[in-house]
Structures are given as C-alpha cells and as structure tokens.
Amino acid sequence: METSNQDSRVAQIVHIARDALYETEKPFAADFSAPGKSSNHIFDARDVVVKDARTRRARLTLDKNGFCLLESPTSLTFESLSLDGPDSACLAYYRQMEALVLERFPEYSKVVVLEHQLRKRHSGYPEAVNSKHCQPARLVHRDFTTRGLFLRMDVSFPEQEKKYRNEDMDFLNIWRVLTGPNNDWPLGLCDYASIDAEKDTIPNDMLSRTTVGENELLFASPHHEWYYVSSQNVEEAILFRNASTDPSRSYAFHSALDLKVTDGIPRESIELRMVAFRRAQDSPRGVSKAQ
C-alpha cells in the first residue's frame, strides 16, 4: 500500500471481522477463565493509511471528529505514577486534567476522573508476554456505548444511581505518552465523520466476575480515516470522547497502531477516563446515530 503524503504512514490495525456469526450472536469477551470460551471475537487485521494529526490539529475538533490535541506540560514519569496516597503524583494529575478540560471546554460544569490505565510495552509484545504491566490494546474499540456509560456510572456511584440517570454526561479520555518522542505502538484514532455507525459498528459485552459492561467494536471500511501523532512528546495530550448520554455526539474509536518501528524505547503511556457533566443550557438531547 502506497501513501500519497509525506506525513502519512501505513500501520496494521486489528478490527472485529464482518462475520456471519455476529448476525445471530453478540460479540463478547470475559477477563476471567470460565467453562467454555472466554470470547467469540474473530479478528480482521489489515494495513491502513494513518495520517499525522499534528499537521492537521487546527481542523480536528472534539465535536466534529471525536478527538483533538491539547498542549499540556507535565513532569509525570512512569515511576512517579506508581506511588499511592492522597498526595501522590497520580491524584495531582487527576486534578490537573480535570481543570484543563473545564478551562478548554466551557460547556462542562464539572469533570470527575474515574480511573487511569498505565501501560508499558514489553519488548516481546505483541507475541505472548508475561509482564506485570498492561500492554497496548490492539482491537479497535470505543470504551463505552451509551448503555455502557450508565452501567459504568452505576458501578462508580452506586449510591447515586437515580441522580445520574437525569444528567447529561460525556465520557472523555485523555491519553499521553510518558517518554518521548514516541513512535512505538502509538494511539490511533478513527475520524468520527468517516464512520457509518449503522453499518460499521457493533456493541460488545465486557464480562468480569462481578460486573457486565458494554463497549463497541468497529468493522473495517475503506472510507475510514485514521490519525496518530508522530513522534509524540509528553506535553502533547490527546483528548477524545468515548460515549455520551446523547448518542448523536461524536466519539472516537481507537487502537494501538503497529507502525513496524524498532528504534526508541518501548511505549510508556497513561490514559485517564473521566465523566464530564454538561451545563443545562448545553444539553439538547439528540437522535441516536450510533446505537
């Protein structure tokens, strides 16, 4: 596959396959061992042209494309984020990113970080590895559907379930590398405007021993436009929407990209998941494009 622009590259991306199985069976995956199969996923790995988001950042917006780039200096390191306690670097980072979203997006009245995910690629990845650290996620997905959003809120705020049922909320992620410049398994994002949600997406059950969640997977299409940040530095953050109580809002399917780059250190990254509450005047309810 040839690329037409110097700032585009070819990467391998793994999708869920357009298989007849999913006409009668919903995709699912469990994070525990149980009798029978733990997943019914059939994969479709293919080479895709990915464009450099940095050279197009002025026209990439959260509302149109589902993601945007933010400048956000940080002194975080992988080691500092392993600390615990109320004064840990991790909790300070939570407050910093909550304030950043409120400053840049006035439509939100409150932002609360739910959790974070640290990843440190093992040198043997993507083959079978035995690592104490989470590895890059290869299957294209968005973390929640609208149904999955409410399921997650019920877990995070079990005593306030009824209250949040009437809120207008977005689930947002902030993703950055902790060492740079990075081209090792960078984050790839699919432009929301290039997706036909009715034809290209399918809900997926996420099963654990105590909870059931729902995210969404993406079938491959030649119409999709993919982006990444070349040689990403630690002060460059990617903000993207995963889900909303208004399903017509944009969101970003995403995945780690295999650029076949062998130089540089293995990727270290942190991803925050947060719920952003919209101000009442910014909360018109739309008609679903995606569900």
Pair type for strands 8-16 and 187-190:
unpaired
Tell me the DSSP string of 261-274: --SSPPPEEEEEEE
Report the pLDDT value the prediction gives residue 237, as an integer from 0 to 100.
97
- Chain segment 186-241, per-residue pLDDT in tens: 999 999 999 999 999 999 999 998 999 999 999 999 999 999 999 999 999 999 99
Q: Does residue 57 carry a pLDDT above 80?
A: yes
Q: What is the mean pLDDT of residues 273-287?
A: 72
Do 248 and 210 meet the contact criterion of CB atoms below 8 Å apart?
no
Q: Does residue 289 carry a pLDDT above 50?
A: no
Residue 78 forms beta bridges with which residues? none
- Chain segment 162-194, per-residue pLDDT in tens: 778 889 999 999 999 999 999 999 999 999 999
Structure tokens at 196: 């036909």
Do you know the residue count of the chain? Answer: 291
Phi, psi of 10 (to 5 degrees): -105, 130
Residue 64 DSSP label: H
Report the pLDDT value the prediction gives residue 18, as an integer from 0 to 100.
98
Structure tokens at 193: 């405007």
- Chain segment 66-125, per-residue pLDDT in tens: 999 999 988 888 877 766 555 577 888 999 999 999 999 999 999 999 999 999 999 889
Q: What is the mean pLDDT of residues 31-43?
A: 89
Calculate what percentage of the chain has a pLDDT beyond 90: 73
Sheet harboring 268-278: ordered strands across? 67-71, 236-244, 169-177, 268-278, 108-120
Report the pLDDT value the prediction gives residue 41, as an integer from 0 to 100.
98
Residue 204 forms beta bridges with which residues? 215
Kindly indicate the confidence band of residue 35, based on its pLDDT and cuts at 50, 70 and 90: confident
Pair type for strands 28-30 and 201-207:
parallel
> What structural domains does the chain harbor?
8-19+39-282 (2.60.120)
Question: H helices of the chain, where?
Answer: 62-65, 89-104, 146-156, 161-164, 197-200
Select from 107, 260, 125 the least CA-distant residue to 183. Answer: 260
Kindly indicate the confidence band of residue 288, based on its pLDDT and cuts at 50, 70 and 90: very low
Question: What is the C-alpha separation between 50 and 194, in angstroms, rounded?
Answer: 13
**Helix (H/G/I), strand (E/B), else coil: 55:** helix
Q: Does residue 250 carry a pLDDT above 70?
A: yes
Q: Does residue 46 carry a pLDDT above 70?
A: yes
Question: What is the C-alpha separation between 107 and 62, in angstroms, rounded?
Answer: 12
Sign of dihedral through CA atoms 90, 91, 92, 96?
Answer: positive
Do 213 and 148 meet the contact criterion of CB atoms below 8 Å apart?
yes
Q: Does residue 63 carry a pLDDT above 60?
A: yes
Kindly indicate the confidence band of residue 290, based on its pLDDT and cuts at 50, 70 and 90: very low
Q: What is the mean pLDDT of residues 251-278?
A: 93
Report the pLDDT value the prediction gives residue 84, as an integer from 0 to 100.
57
User: Residue 172 CA to chain centroid, in angstroms?
Assistant: 8
Report the pLDDT value the prediction gives residue 83, as an integer from 0 to 100.
60
Structure tokens at 169: 């909320």
Kindly indicate the confidence band of residue 282, based on its pLDDT and cuts at 50, 70 and 90: low
Report the pLDDT value the prediction gives residue 196, as an integer from 0 to 100.
98
Report the pLDDT value the prediction gives residue 76, as an integer from 0 to 100.
81
- Kindly give, in sequence order, each residue whose CB lies less than 8 Å from that of residue 245, ignoring residues fewer than 6 positions away: 146, 149, 167, 168, 169, 170, 285
Helix or strand run (H / E) with residue 120: strand 108-120
Structure tokens at 192: 């929301």
Please count the other Cβ atoms lying within 10 Å of the Cβ belonging to residue 26.
12
Q: Does residue 283 carry a pLDDT above 80?
A: no
Question: What is the C-alpha separation between 174 and 97, in angstroms, rounded?
Answer: 8
Q: What is the mean pLDDT of residues 253-277?
A: 93
- Chain segment 110-159, per-residue pLDDT in tens: 999 999 999 999 988 988 788 889 999 999 999 999 999 999 998 888 87
List C-alpha distances in Å: 272 to 10, 189, 217.
27, 16, 20
